[in-house]
Structure 1
Amino acid sequence: MVFGALIAKRSTPQGPDPFEPTPILRLLLRAPVKLLLYHAYHLVTFLRSAPTPSDTPVRVVCISDTHNHTLEEIPAGDILIHAGDLTNDGSVAEIQKQVDWLCSLPHKEIVVISGNHDTYLDPRTRPSLSEPQRSGEIDWKRVHYLQHRRLSLTVAVESSDPDSRTHLLATRHRRIRLYGAPQIPACGPMSVHAFQYPRGRDAWSETVPEDTDILITHTPPKYHGDLPLPDGMGCEHLLKEVKRIKPALHVFGHVHWGAGQSVVWWDGCHEAYVNGMETGSKYTHGLLSPRLWFNVIRVGYRGLRELIWDKVWGGQGPSTIMVNAAQMHNSTGRLGNPVQVVDI
């Protein structure tokens, strides 16, 4: 089974592949108001200042969706996170090869979760592998594998003392709490793709510890790094859980076209964006939807208020850096997306 064949399974006779971006002309015809809402929200967010890192910043290097490939160069950092889909077929041998590669990297801590292609790691999909593919066990070595599990790391960070004339490096310790979970809304056969649940089912509420600093999932949250137009491939229940926890960093992958990072400010502008994106309008495509237009206006009004508060008064409310760390370049079967690096 090759990567291209697995991707092909996502296509259906009923419509285009939801893991491919919808052409702009089709969006203009199908969801013109949501297209306006999307760009208004992201323009305001882009203009805002970046969140201020901690006084003892920890550098987190984020990758995902390597699908049996290895990267020749990965930026240095304190914590390396892989957010799933290490492999194509998910056999023991493929997973072990990826683990061995990750362990060869110089990062102080390495944290990994599973993806839907990592079949062996889900006991429900393991029988779909042939006997040779599922024989043996995985030696995780120094990799922290999180499967609905919490991890607390104490990271030693070197920083210069601004009060010292010699600017000598001082070592400080920072405690980082991580939580990793691999489940995704169904995108393929339940017997083959790992850790799936029926789309629309709530598999997230009250599952993430409240003191989580870094949340690692394979699926994106709804409307963030998930091809949000016209419908979005992420999970709406995960988005609500991220809002409840408000971690400093949320790392995911799965939707290759959504690779990149952005900041979600948990304020009225974001609330209006989500409310608007959730608004259905089947026959008029949103053009006659008062609720949708109200949220477009609210994004502009609340976004402008928050932007002034940020730029004039230096105010910053609660936020989460969202990182889609997919390395696979779109549906090419080749790596090509940049490695994402975040200081928190």
Structure 2
Amino acid sequence: MRLVVISDTHGLHNRIQGLPEGDLLVHAGDFMNSGFDVEDIFSFNTWLGEQSFPHRVVCAGNHDRYFQMAPEMARPLLTNAIYLENSGISIDGVSFWGSPYTPEFLNWAFMYPRGSAANRYWDQIPHGLDVLITHGPPFGILDQTAPGEPHLGCEELLKAVEEKKPKVHLFGHIHGGAGLFENEATRFVNAAYLNERYKPLAPAGQIRVVDL
């Protein structure tokens, strides 16, 4: 299965030109901008429906406030993708599990205080998982706004990934950390589309492809 992965488009999905071909499109959150404008969801859903993928999977992010404030209204609007929120699905024999939650930062959506509070989400990650989708990165992996800057990922998420060893971990959130990293157990992809200035420039503007 070929996955085409993006994240952090912040309402600029219509500017993406020529997605690579693949079997499944993954968006790892922050498809809205302020998170209050329902038109962002309509536009994003229309764009998803225009993409020539047999399958599409979406996870929310901290900018997608409407999905936390009014989930009973927001979720039905996303008709052209499978939406994951602390939940999973199997597609053509490949298992996926996704969560929008990230450590606290200002007054955004889907956040928790650093420390053990995160485990209410990461304890749910299944063992033997093929693809983990979280909006934010694990601590120390593709989680800096620029080289030499502090690591902003979640320590508890790192522990969960090290324990459960998904084959692939997809995320975004930290735009400046966009890129690829691999250890002996897991391939990590920060697929943020925009850079730290919210511009679709390299390397963040590169679309990531993962072959399973």
Q: TM-score, normalised by structure 2?
A: 0.89
1:343 corresponds to: 211
Q: 1:100 aligns with which of 36, 41, 46?
A: 46
Conservation of the 8 A alpha-carbon contact between 1:92 and 1:137: no
Q: Write the distance in 1 (CA, Å) between the matches of 2:86 and 2:94.
A: 17
Q: Write the distance in 2 (CA, Å) between the matches of 1:119 and 1:142.
A: 19
Q: Does 1:323 align with 2:189?
A: yes
Q: Mapping of 1:1-344 within 5 angstroms?
A: 58-70=1-13, 71-90=16-35, 91-123=37-69, 138-154=76-92, 175-189=93-107, 193-204=108-119, 205-227=122-144, 229=148, 231-265=150-184, 319-331=185-197, 333-336=198-201, 337-344=205-212
Q: Write the distance in 1 (CA, Å) between the matches of 2:66 and 2:50.
A: 22
1:290 corresponds to: none
Structure of larger gyration radius: 1
Over the matched positions of the two proteins, sequence identity in percent amounts to 38
Conservation of the 8 A alpha-carbon contact between 1:181 and 1:218: yes
Deviations 1:141-172 (A, max 9, x none): 23000001111111xxxxxxxxxxxxxxxxxx
RMSD: 1.8
Conservation of the 8 A alpha-carbon contact between 1:95 and 1:138: no
Deviations 1:51-82 (A, max 9, x none): xxxxxxx1111100000012121101111100
Conservation of the 8 A alpha-carbon contact between 2:171 and 2:190: yes
Conservation of the 8 A alpha-carbon contact between 1:62 and 1:341: yes
Q: Secondary structure of the equivalent of 1:238?
A: helix
Q: Write the distance in 1 (CA, Å) between the matches of 2:123 and 2:79.
A: 31
For structure 1, the 5+ residue unaligned runs are 1-57, 127-133, 155-174, 266-318
Conservation of the 8 A alpha-carbon contact between 1:211 and 1:245: yes
Higher strand share goes to which structure?
2
Higher helix share goes to which structure?
1
Aligned residue pair count: 201
- Deviation at residue 136 of structure 1 after TM alignment: 7.5
Conservation of the 8 A alpha-carbon contact between 2:66 and 2:74: no
Q: TM-score, normalised by structure 1?
A: 0.56
